[in-house]
Amino acid sequence: MSVHRSLKGATRIGVKRNVLKRFERIEILRKQGKWKEGDRALGLPKTKVV
């Protein structure tokens, strides 16, 4: 019996993710000048995966 492909963690590390964590989205928005300290972290605009 083989292991399901979703459970093979080591090979998926190098795969590009298409969903960003909140802190990753804030970093991108900060670089673009669209977010500053004190702004709300909820309801962030969409960002492209770099």
* Predicted confidence (pLDDT) at residue 6 exceeds the cutoff of 80: no
Overall pTM > 0.85? no
| pLDDT value, residue 9 | 66
pLDDT on residue 31 = 92
Q: What value does the mean pLDDT take over residues 9-30?
A: 80
> Would you place residue 10 in the very low, low, confident or very high pLDDT band (cuts 50, 70, 90)?
low
The DSSP element (H or E) to which 25 belongs, if any, is helix 22-32
Q: Which phi-psi region, left, alpha or beta, contains residue 2 (left: φ > 0; alpha: ψ -120 to 50)? A: beta
